[in-house]
């Protein structure tokens, strides 16, 4: 187990900078999710740690050791990809054992194979002799070769399949003691068998051990891919969108399994995904990236409740936060956010916005923080029309249309997107399309962002 530290890491492909001045420390035993839209540099960040991409600038440490120049195979890292990358002609047992065998001594195996081959030749020759003898006694000399061949063939098959294990064990005990490399090989094989069985048990693959990948379901294949990484007992575990090939139901199931597994193993893990729900549910902490730049690192709650900027606020949360462009105006000794869509009387806790009087800001409100037809204060209530209603069983998403502003007697035809907001209501809503309703925003959950920097204005 080890900490991982990125220090001022940059990766350029020619003139294109894929990762810019990346700084991040992942604690020992931590499960960190690296999340961001497609092409933001997540995989490149992971690949640099694995040694598959060369770092242009900066350093990466595993534990206390700088690994920039260390070969991938010597980094004690295991990686699981979106494509399971299993060997199709090997069964589950051999797929799991592959990485371990690659490390084990080859000379002992070759010697043992040679000994078995010699033994089988001896057996066949012996049986052939017996067959010939039988033929002499029972049938005279006719068809000698044919009958002896058939008899020795069948006897060999039966003998091989029935007593293979016993012969092998016996031989091993006789010859193995004489050869150090055979002894080492056998010890390794036994160790591998134990590790494969333990891993199969951990991942509930015991019943599948002798099946080929094509005989497995998607979830089982992904478990084998995970098993292949786990079995090597890595210091750091890297997962690059490992669940994206699975259907939605299986993904949710595997997500829960991964959570249990990571708790059990306690290996420092970095999990790359573009799915923010996966990141929120899996990660101890989430690192949000955009355009090669790390935007924010925090626990799922921190990132959701206190996003550092508009990008993080919009990326984390489903459906996305609603945004409205406007400016701050002073009205009757208090502050009001004014826009074409709505006016919002600013709560006192946002006194910091006095600095923004007559300046442009962006108001942000999450779909789950908009209330429909609730009693309460007379401030900040908006009459809107329901444009679309999407019941999804546990929740209903409704799209509310704010009244179109009239400019010089003409009504906007294509009014900007921000005139529509999405609202998340619990359960199945009885609200109907074209119905007029009144909405309010949860005062505690309203956000403001600086228009230029897009940083969140902290109240």
| Least distance in angstroms from the C-beta of 199 to ligand ATP | 28
**Do 387 and 379 contact (CB within 8 A), yes or no?**
no
Q: In this complex, which beta carbon is closest to ligand ATP, that of residue 38 or of residue 430?
A: 38
DSSP 321-345: PEEEEEEEEEETTEEEEE-SS-EEE
Tokens of 164: 């293979």
Distances (CA, A) of 132 to 125, 146, 152, 229, 361: 11, 9, 10, 54, 99
| Least distance in angstroms from the C-beta of 17 to ligand ATP | 9
Distances (CA, A) of 111 to 99, 107, 368: 21, 6, 68
Q: In this complex, which beta carbon is closest to ligand ATP, that of residue 18 or of residue 342?
A: 18
Longest dimension (CA), the chain: 124
Q: In this complex, which beta carbon is closest to ligand ATP, that of residue 39 or of residue 376?
A: 39
Q: In this complex, which beta carbon is closest to ligand ATP, that of residue 30 or of residue 240?
A: 240
| Least distance in angstroms from the C-beta of 278 to ligand ATP | 12
Q: In this complex, which beta carbon is closest to ligand ATP, that of residue 80 or of residue 439?
A: 80
**Do 400 and 386 contact (CB within 8 A), yes or no?**
yes
**Do 159 and 141 contact (CB within 8 A), yes or no?**
no
| Least distance in angstroms from the C-beta of 223 to ligand ATP | 22
CA–CA dist 96, 231 (Å, integer):
7
What are the percentages of helix, strand and coil residues in the chain, rounded to 5?
A: 40, 30, 30
CA–CA dist 31, 295 (Å, integer):
18
Distances (CA, A) of 150 to 122, 133, 140, 257: 16, 14, 17, 53
CA–CA dist 352, 391 (Å, integer):
39
| Least distance in angstroms from the C-beta of 45 to ligand ATP | 7
| Least distance in angstroms from the C-beta of 303 to ligand ATP | 17
Q: In this complex, which beta carbon is closest to ligand ATP, that of residue 212 or of residue 274?
A: 274
Q: In this complex, which beta carbon is closest to ligand ATP, that of residue 40 or of residue 308?
A: 40
Q: Helix, strand, or coil here: 259?
A: helix
Q: In this complex, which beta carbon is closest to ligand ATP, that of residue 226 or of residue 287?
A: 287
**Do 342 and 403 contact (CB within 8 A), yes or no?**
no
Which spans of this chain sit near ligand ATP (rule: CB under 6 A)? Answer: 13, 16, 18, 36, 38-44, 274
Helices (H), 234-371: 248-265, 276-282, 300-305, 310-315
Q: In this complex, which beta carbon is closest to ligand ATP, that of residue 41 or of residue 131?
A: 41
Q: For 248, list phi and psi in degrees, rounded to 5.
A: -55, -40
| Least distance in angstroms from the C-beta of 41 to ligand ATP | 4
| Least distance in angstroms from the C-beta of 51 to ligand ATP | 15
Beta bridge partners of 288: 35, 296
| Least distance in angstroms from the C-beta of 43 to ligand ATP | 3
């Amino acid at each position: 187990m080890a900490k991982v530290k990125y220090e001022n890491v940059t990766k350029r492909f020619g003139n294109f900078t894929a990762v810019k001045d990346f700084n991040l420390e992942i604690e020992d035993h931590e499960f960190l999710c690296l999340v961001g839209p497609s092409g933001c540099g997540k995989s490149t960040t992971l690949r640099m740690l694995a040694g598959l991409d060369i770092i242009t600038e900066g350093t990466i440490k595993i534990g206390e050791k700088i690994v920039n120049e260390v070969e991938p195979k010597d980094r004690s890292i295991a990686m699981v990809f979106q494509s399971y990358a299993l060997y199709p002609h090997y069964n589950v047992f051999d797929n799991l054992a592959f990485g371990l065998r690659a490390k084990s001594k080859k000379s002992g195996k070759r010697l043992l194979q040679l000994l078995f081959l010699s033994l089988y030749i001896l057996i066949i020759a012996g049986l052939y002799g017996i067959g010939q003898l039988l033929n002499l006694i029972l049938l005279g000399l006719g068809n000698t070769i044919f009958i002896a061949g058939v008899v020795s063939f069948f006897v060999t098959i039966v003998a091989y399949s029935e007593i293979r294990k016993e012969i092998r064990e016996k031989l091993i005990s006789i010859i193995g003691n004489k050869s150090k490399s055979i002894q080492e090989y056998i010890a390794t094989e036994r160790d591998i068998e134990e590790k494969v069985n333990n891993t199969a048990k951990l991942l509930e693959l015991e019943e599948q051990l002798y099946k080929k990948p094509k005989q497995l379901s998607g979830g089982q294949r992904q478990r084998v891919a995970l098993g292949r990484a786990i079995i090597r007992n890595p210091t750091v575990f890297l997962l690059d969108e490992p669940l994206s090939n699975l259907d939605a139901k299986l993904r949710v199931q595997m997500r829960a399994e991964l959570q249990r597994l990571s708790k059990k193993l306690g290996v420092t893990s970095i999990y790359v995904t573009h799915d923010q729900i996966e990141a929120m549910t899996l990660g101890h902490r989430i690192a949000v990236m955009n355009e090669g730049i790390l935007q924010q690192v925090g626990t799922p709650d921190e990132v959701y409740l206190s996003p550092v900027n508009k990008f993080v606020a919009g990326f984390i949360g489903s459906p996305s936060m609603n945004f409205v462009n406007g400016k701050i105006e002073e009205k009757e000794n208090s502050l009001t956010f004014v826009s074409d869509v709505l006016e919002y009387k600013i709560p006192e806790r946002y006194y910091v916005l006095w600095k923004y009087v007559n300046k442009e800001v962006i108001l942000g409100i999450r779909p789950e923080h908009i209330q429909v037809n609730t009693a309460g204060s007379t401030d900040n209530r908006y009459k809107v029309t329901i444009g679309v209603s999407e019941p999804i069983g546990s929740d209903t998403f409704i799209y509310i249309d704010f009244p179109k502003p009239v400019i010089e007697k003409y009504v906007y035809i294509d009014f900007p997107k921000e005139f529509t907001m999405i609202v998340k209501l619990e359960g199945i809503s009885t609200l109907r399309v074209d119905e007029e309703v009144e909405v309010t925003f949860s005062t505690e959950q309203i956000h403001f962002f600086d228009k230029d920097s897009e940083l969140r204005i902290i109240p």
